[in-house]
Amino acid sequence: MPATEIVSTEPATGAVLWRQAIGNVDAEVALARESWAEWAARPLAYRIEALRRFANVVRAKADAFTDLIARETGKPLWEARTEVETVIAKVDISVTAYSERTGQRRIDAPMNTRLALRHKPHGVLAVLGPYNFPAHLPNGHIVPALLAGNAVVFKPSEKTPATGAFMVECYHAAGIPQGCVRLLVGGGEQGKELAGHPDIDGLLFTGSANTGIALNRQFATRPEKILALEMGGNNPIIVWSTPDLYSAAVLVVQSAFTSAGQRCTAARRLIVDEKLCDPLVAEINKLINRMIIAEPHADPAPFMGPVIDNDTADMLTESFLALSTRGGRPLRHLERPIEGRPFLSPGLIDMTDASDKPDVELFGPILQVFRTNDFAEAIAEANNTRYGLSASLVSQDPKLYDQFWANIRAGIVNWNRPTNGASSAAPFGGIGWSGNHRPSAYYAADYCAYPVVSSESEQARASIGLGLRDA
């Protein structure tokens, strides 16, 4: 029998955290459709004030929200707290972005006319959220969508529905009309039904490339609907010409293993000068040996917690073995330190001489190592992917960074910084299989409203000077 409810469990303990009946897609879309026009007709200042109240509600409930995110995702408490702070900060960032990217403008025009540029909301937007940042990432769509005057039907990941439900309650507590933010509880089937619903005006998605590509195909015959895809990455970090191997190792570890590797911007591939490889790997191993991997509330605080569930941990373990069978040389095996729970210790594998180098996003703490003797070859290896989200260079040579920046294919290009930790005050997106040229974060305003250009005059005065016979 098909499932009738969604149950959320804590990855670190297996305890049941939350359960709720699966929602009705038609009903949720209908409520949003009934509500959006009145919300859109409100002055912008009214919507801004409502969203600032939302930020205040989240601020007042920050401790409970932090605890819930930590329990439902397994991420450390400190990281969950950072996510809540990002949710709060998103409102003011979005207000600034709306003004800059989609504000009203007057343009000079001839003959006592004026040219006005304004923006209109699309209507009802569906938001599909991921499990790794179950509040921050969907909130990055929802806030700018509401600010522009849209209504939203939000389906959180079936792996983190409690966080999504908590956030929707905060919107409603702030006075945003219940019909304008609807929570759809469900799994993959409900996600497909929502994406294909005739009464949505667009879909804002964060998730895997495979799902994003399927959505792109689904929307190919519906050009009237906006589709914004933020997908994953097979992200490279290059280490070259740097004397400080400890700092380089820290940047690699932060890039590859923060959030247990469950970030779309996480480094999946370390590309390193042959001369530096062994000492760099030794420094990385020293850091991993000191790494605390534990449940979210542990004391001392862990660097990382578990991956999202046992199925994911099993898949990652099998993937590490598959890389070995393709010629990869394990430098540090992926291990399961707690039997029956999805905790993983970081794995390192040298894929330099592998016969097959799969271009896949392994969404967990696995780092593939590639050695090379030539910097141009290192960039070529970094670009040897269909993805193009994030890339980083660790080097003391500014000329190498100039060469790297000019030639790397990615939407986020960093120097002596991790591949992850992108700012919400900047656009966030990639090329290739990482997105469809709809960057989110600061540029989310662009896909939440469409421009309307009006040529206007207070009086109708017109004449035709050529091409008419005499009266």
Long-range CB pairs of 95-100 (<8 Å, 24+ gap) are 95/48, 95/51, 95/147, 97/144, 97/442, 97/443, 97/444, 97/445, 98/44, 98/144, 98/147, 98/148, 98/445, 100/445
Q: What is the pLDDT along the chain (471 residues), one digit of tens a residue?
A: 678 999 999 999 999 999 999 999 999 999 999 999 999 999 999 999 999 999 999 999 999 999 999 999 999 999 999 999 999 999 999 999 999 999 888 887 776 778 899 999 999 999 999 999 999 999 999 999 999 999 999 999 999 999 999 999 999 999 999 999 999 999 999 999 999 999 999 999 999 999 999 999 999 999 999 999 999 999 999 999 999 999 999 999 999 999 999 999 999 999 999 999 999 999 999 999 999 999 999 999 999 999 999 999 999 999 999 999 999 999 999 999 999 999 999 999 999 999 999 999 999 999 999 999 999 999 999 999 999 999 999 999 999 999 999 999 999 999 999 999 999 999 999 999 999 999 999 999 999 999 999 988 888 888 898 999 987
Q: Give the pLDDT score at 463.
A: 87
- Report CA dihedral (463, 106, 122, 102) to the nearest 10 degrees: 160
Residues 6+ apart with CB under 8 A from 342: 11, 74, 306, 307, 308, 309, 310, 312, 313
Catalytic, out of 170, 180, 264, 448: 264
448 flagged as catalytic: no
Q: Give the pLDDT score at 1.
A: 67
Size of the chain in residues: 471
180 flagged as catalytic: no
Q: How far apart are the first and last CA of the chain?
A: 80
pTM beyond 0.85: the answer is yes
Tokens of 266: 């996480």
Fold of 235-415: Aldehyde Dehydrogenase; Chain A, domain 2 (3.40.309)
Kind of pairing between the strands at 427-428 and 440-441: antiparallel
Tokens of 468: 């008419």
Residues carrying CATH 3.40.309.10, the chain: 235-415
Residues carrying CATH 3.40.605.10, the chain: 5-231+435-456
Beta partners for residue 155, in sequence order = 128
Q: Give the pLDDT score at 2.
A: 74
**Right CATH number for 5-231+435-456 from 3.40.50.300, 3.40.605.10, 3.90.226.10, 3.60.21.10?**
3.40.605.10
Catalytic, out of 230, 283, 361, 381: 230
Residues 6+ apart with CB under 8 A from 140: 90, 424, 440, 441, 444
Tokens of 123: 């209507």
Q: Give the pLDDT score at 271.
A: 98
Per the rule left: phi > 0, alpha: psi between -120 and 50, beta: everything else, 95 is alpha
